[in-house]
A and B are shown apart, each in its own frame.
Chain A
Amino acid sequence: MKNPEHMNRIGVFVCHCGINIASIVDIEAVTKEISKYPGVEFIKDYQYMCSEPGQMIFKEACRSGQIDGIVVASCSPTLHETTFRRASIEAGMNPYRVEIANIREQCSWVHHDEEEKATEKAIDIMKSVIERSRRNESLTEVSLQTIKKVLVIGAGISGMQVALNIANSGVETFLLDRQPSIGGRMAQLSETFPTLDCSQCILTPRMVEVGQNKNITLMTYSEVEEVSGYVGNFNVKIRRKAAYVDWDKCTGCGICYQKCPKTVPSEFEQLIGKRKAIYTPFPQAVPNKVVIDNNNCLYFKTGKCRLCEKACPLGAIDFEQKERIEEIEVGAIVVATGYDLYEKEKIEEYKMGYCEDVLDGLTFERLLSSSGPTQGKLVRPSDGTVPKEIVFIQCVGSRDPDNHLPYCSRICCMYTAKHTMLYKHRVPDGQPYVFYMDIRSGGKNYEEFVQRAIEEDNVLYIRGRVARLYREDDKVVVVGADTLSGKTIVIRADMVVLAMAMRPSGGIEELSKKLKIQVDGNGFLSEAHPKLRPVETLTQGVFVAGCAQAPKDITDTVSQAGAAASKVLELLSNEKLLHDPITSWIDEELCAGCGQCVSQCSYNAIQLDEKKRKAFINEILCQGCGACIVTCPSGAAQQKNFTIKQYYSMIESLV
């Protein structure tokens, strides 16, 4: 049939799909009807369009030059749209001129007993796709250059591992942490489950490896100030905090902090140990550089002292130093900001018992650590005596949707078992008790580990919650319920260790806003898909790893870090990024500059040029959802190959 003006000539193929389509839909009737439809240049049917010979006929049609577009009536586009579009490229036709009419899944397979009606429906479906198809444009994938550099935010074990994996593949990586040293929480741990190997012994070599890697630039004592740009092309402003020390000169010799007269509780030691006002967080710090804490430094407080300056043989101290903003360009960003513990002050019912001998898990780690404030001697912070009865309470703050946090922190069962064992190894005649809700020890060799604590180390596991703590003499009295025997248990403990819930580290909210990524109901970073895209975020080019995403142990953290690194490398392995071109665009002539579309776009792809009073769509950011089109009162926003005209013509052909 003759082609009406301005309309593309369409070739149509009908697939029998063996008998899948042909036994229900009357192919002959379809062919006859569609061949009469305006703009249809030819129609052919074939047994299996997706087969080699089917593809040959298809490609021949592409090459013929007689047609501007092809409709294949067959199975769902999810199955073979790509197949036919690829074939069209090979045959020199623009792939976006090929469309699929779904007459199998949405027709022959669902109308077995209505052959006539199914045939009618197949004809309708094809007509509507022909209508859409002949208004299609040739499109080319949007391509953009990528910057082959990566920023990793957070230098705990997850961030370090991501950085190492990426850097070892030859890609330049910036590793940023707000602390003076890399290492994160793992540096604070004594020994680690399920092997009981010393945390520092496995971590320190990794830290050195990171520090010496020529592709890794460390940016410690720094924070992300501002992020702009998009996948492949991020611009990040980084605030380098003032250390008041010239790190180019500082060798970390330590003379300064020996001389410093001001002593304060050390954050790294969970406040049970001490540091100076000029300090490195721990002896193995990487980079091994000192910083001055200006909140405590006598010179900053009183204008007098400067003993460190006098002591420094290299003249590295610089009281005039200012924080500065550094700008970097990267193609991808990984967020690995880890966790904090839920504050024990939030547990009202335990408060009566609080004293120096009621500790959270990380503080207990420092007490166990051979490099900790007691050199690993297990004594009470209050009076230095060895605790003979010690109560561990699990799930503090976790799994309590009414009062605290609804989720399971996942690692406390394991580290509590570890704590009991490490305690018994140091105090063989001591008695550890554990209050638990239930034991979650899913993981390789984890269950065996817990059993070892119970059987070999005689740890008394009591199933139940602790109702309250209070103090009596120098003891902490623990009142709990044993839900198995139904009895109330009262233990006069020398020490109590609370397995506090894990929370996303402080500041994650602001950081996620800067990065335009989402957090879940509990404040952890949201992954793009819980199963299939576990390390991506919904913002292209931004990835997550470690406890910033959810509570997890070191093993899972390292695995996830590997996954995130491989996703980053996959992204950056292409010279150019290709992007589906079914994006939206604004017709400048029609755009009135009202800006309504801007707020509709979830990807910040639309910007309003205030001067011109016109909206612009960044086609790299546009994901092609079509939300903006609906909002535009002037009809200026349109999506390529999904235009309002196309929808109208489809509707007309169907009703």
Chain B
Amino acid sequence: MREEGDELFMENVSQDFEPKIIAFLCNWCTYAGADLAGVSRIQYPSNIRIIRLMCSGALDPTYVIKVLMEGADGVLIGGCHPGDCHYINGNYKARRRVAILKTSLKEAGLEPERVWLRWISASEGAYFAETVKEMVAHLKLLGPNPLKSVWAI
């Protein structure tokens, strides 16, 4: 297992693979958490591009599919912790939708582990930065989104 991973990793390193992550962050918690990472000058990889949603509950699963189809390597969805959603329960809606989406991705032969859903509050700047680092490392192991090459052909 480990060897396999290492191999994969080595291969990617040699290709200088830098994964591209698109993040959908809710305005009230995770977007503010990302701001706090900035205010605290916590450094994290620049592989991420952030799109602001009013609430994680506004995440249309087609956004995620589109991101993957367009060839980005990962999608991070950030919302308020359970119970903290600014709109009462949008994050529960998000959780349900993302779970369903992941199953469908799997059924379609795509990799659901490219899609991360995390609850990150406005005070968790460090956790946000940590999540980005972790996700970049994970995606490096996983390698480029295979759909990218499909479209490239």
Interface residues of A (CB under 8 A from B): 76-78, 102, 104-107, 109-114, 117-118, 120-121, 124-125, 128, 518, 538, 582, 600, 602-603, 623-627, 629-630, 639, 642, 644, 647-648, 650-652, 654-655
Chain B nearest Cβ from A303, distance in angstroms? 54
The closest CB in chain A to the CB of B85 belongs to A625
Q: With A and B bound together, what is the CA distance between A651 and B52 in angstroms?
A: 11
Across the interface, which residues of A come within 8 angstroms of B32, CB to CB?
78
Residue among A78, A624, A625, A629 with the most chain B CB within 10 A? A625
Asked if B6 is at the interface (CB within 8 A of a chain A CB), the reply is: no
Are A111 and B43 CB-contacts (below 8 A) given A626-B53, A644-B60, A647-B51? Answer: yes
Q: Which B77-121 residues sit within 8 Å CB-CB of chain A?
A: 86-90, 93, 97
- 10 A-B pairs within 8 Å (CB atoms) are namely A78-B35, A106-B50, A124-B49, A602-B87, A625-B55, A626-B58, A630-B59, A642-B58, A648-B66, A654-B72
Are A627 and B55 CB-contacts (below 8 A) given A111-B46, A655-B20? Answer: yes
Asked if B29 is at the interface (CB within 8 A of a chain A CB), the reply is: no
The closest CB in chain A to the CB of B49 belongs to A654
Is there an interface contact between B67 and A651, defined as CB atoms closer than 8 Å?
yes
The closest CB in chain B to the CB of A111 belongs to B46
Asked if B137 is at the interface (CB within 8 A of a chain A CB), the reply is: no
Is there an interface contact between B51 and A654, defined as CB atoms closer than 8 Å?
yes
Is there an interface contact between A655 and B22, defined as CB atoms closer than 8 Å?
yes
Asked if B71 is at the interface (CB within 8 A of a chain A CB), the reply is: yes
Across the interface, which residues of A come within 8 angstroms of B89, CB to CB?
602
Chain B interface extent, by class: 35 or more
Is there an interface contact between B41 and A109, defined as CB atoms closer than 8 Å?
yes
Contacts beyond the supplied A76-B38, A654-B51: 9 A-B pairs with Cβ under 8 Å: A105-B38, A111-B44, A117-B46, A118-B46, A602-B87, A625-B55, A626-B58, A627-B93, A647-B63
Q: Which B54-74 residues sit within 8 Å CB-CB of chain A?
A: 54-55, 57-63, 66-67, 70-72
Across the interface, which residues of A come within 8 angstroms of B71, CB to CB?
655
Are A104 and B38 CB-contacts (below 8 A) given A627-B93, A648-B66? Answer: yes
Sorted nearest first, the 8 A-B pairs with minimum C-beta distance are: A626-B58, A105-B38, A625-B87, A655-B70, A109-B38, A105-B35, A117-B46, A627-B57
- B23-57 interface mask toward A, CB cutoff 8 Å, 1 = contact, 0 = none? 00000000010111111011110100111111101
Asked if B76 is at the interface (CB within 8 A of a chain A CB), the reply is: no
Across the interface, which residues of B come within 8 angstroms of A77, CB to CB?
52
Is there an interface contact between B57 and A110, defined as CB atoms closer than 8 Å?
no
Q: With A and B bound together, what is the CA distance between A105 and B50 in angstroms?
A: 12
Is there an interface contact between A642 and B54, defined as CB atoms closer than 8 Å?
yes
Chain B nearest Cβ from A584, distance in angstroms? 10
Q: With A and B bound together, what is the CA distance between A77 and B44 in angstroms?
A: 21
Residue among B49, B67, B88, B97 with the most chain A CB within 10 A? B49
Residue among A110, A111, A121, A538 with the most chain B CB within 10 A? A110
Are A625 and B90 CB-contacts (below 8 A) given A110-B43, A630-B57? Answer: yes
Q: With A and B bound together, what is the CA distance between A627 and B56 in angstroms?
A: 9
Across the interface, which residues of B come within 8 angstroms of A118, CB to CB?
46
Are A128 and B58 CB-contacts (below 8 A) given A106-B35, A655-B71, A655-B72? Answer: no
Across the interface, which residues of B come within 8 angstroms of A78, CB to CB?
32, 35
Across the interface, which residues of A come within 8 angstroms of B135, CB to CB?
none
Is there an interface contact between B35 and A625, defined as CB atoms closer than 8 Å?
no
Is there an interface contact between A125 and B49, defined as CB atoms closer than 8 Å?
yes
Is there an interface contact between B97 and A630, defined as CB atoms closer than 8 Å?
yes
Q: With A and B bound together, what is the CA distance between A623 and B55 in angstroms?
A: 11
Q: With A and B bound together, what is the CA distance between A602 and B57 in angstroms?
A: 11
Across the interface, which residues of A come within 8 angstroms of B62, CB to CB?
644
Chain B nearest Cβ from A198, distance in angstroms? 43
Asked if B129 is at the interface (CB within 8 A of a chain A CB), the reply is: yes
The closest CB in chain A to the CB of B62 belongs to A644
Chain A nearest Cβ from B47, distance in angstroms? 8
The closest CB in chain B to the CB of A518 belongs to B88
Is there an interface contact between A652 and B70, defined as CB atoms closer than 8 Å?
yes
Is there an interface contact between B54 and A582, defined as CB atoms closer than 8 Å?
yes
Across the interface, which residues of A come within 8 angstroms of B51, CB to CB?
128, 647, 650-651, 654
Is there an interface contact between B38 and A654, defined as CB atoms closer than 8 Å?
no
Across the interface, which residues of B come within 8 angstroms of A629, CB to CB?
58, 60
Q: With A and B bound together, what is the CA distance between A625 and B55 in angstroms?
A: 6
Across the interface, which residues of A come within 8 angstroms of B20, CB to CB?
655
Across the interface, which residues of B come within 8 angstroms of A109, CB to CB?
38-39, 41
Is there an interface contact between B34 and A105, defined as CB atoms closer than 8 Å?
yes
Q: With A and B bound together, what is the CA distance between A234 and B10 in angstroms?
A: 66
Is there an interface contact between B88 and A538, defined as CB atoms closer than 8 Å?
yes
Q: Which of A125, A600, A603, A652 contacts B93 (CB 8 A)?
A: A600
Are A627 and B90 CB-contacts (below 8 A) given A110-B42, A651-B67, A652-B70? Answer: yes
Chain A nearest Cβ from B60, distance in angstroms? 5
Is there an interface contact between B58 and A639, defined as CB atoms closer than 8 Å?
yes
Chain B nearest Cβ from A184, distance in angstroms? 30
Chain B nearest Cβ from A195, distance in angstroms? 39
Q: With A and B bound together, what is the CA distance between A340 and B89 in angstroms?
A: 30
Q: With A and B bound together, what is the CA distance between A625 and B80 in angstroms?
A: 13
Chain B nearest Cβ from A450, distance in angstroms? 35
Q: With A and B bound together, what is the CA distance between A211 and B93 in angstroms?
A: 48
Is there an interface contact between B22 and A654, defined as CB atoms closer than 8 Å?
yes
Across the interface, which residues of A come within 8 angstroms of B97, CB to CB?
630
The closest CB in chain A to the CB of B32 belongs to A78
Are A106 and B34 CB-contacts (below 8 A) given A625-B90, A654-B51? Answer: yes
Is there an interface contact between A110 and B41, defined as CB atoms closer than 8 Å?
yes
Q: With A and B bound together, what is the CA distance between A655 and B22 in angstroms?
A: 8
Q: Which of B36, B58, B60, B88 contacts A602 (CB 8 A)?
A: B88
Are A627 and B58 CB-contacts (below 8 A) given A105-B39, A647-B51, A651-B22? Answer: yes
Chain A nearest Cβ from B96, distance in angstroms? 11
Is there an interface contact between B63 and A651, defined as CB atoms closer than 8 Å?
yes
Q: With A and B bound together, what is the CA distance between A639 and B54 in angstroms?
A: 10
Q: With A and B bound together, what is the CA distance between A78 and B37 in angstroms?
A: 14
Across the interface, which residues of A come within 8 angstroms of B54, CB to CB?
582, 624-626, 639, 642
The closest CB in chain A to the CB of B86 belongs to A625
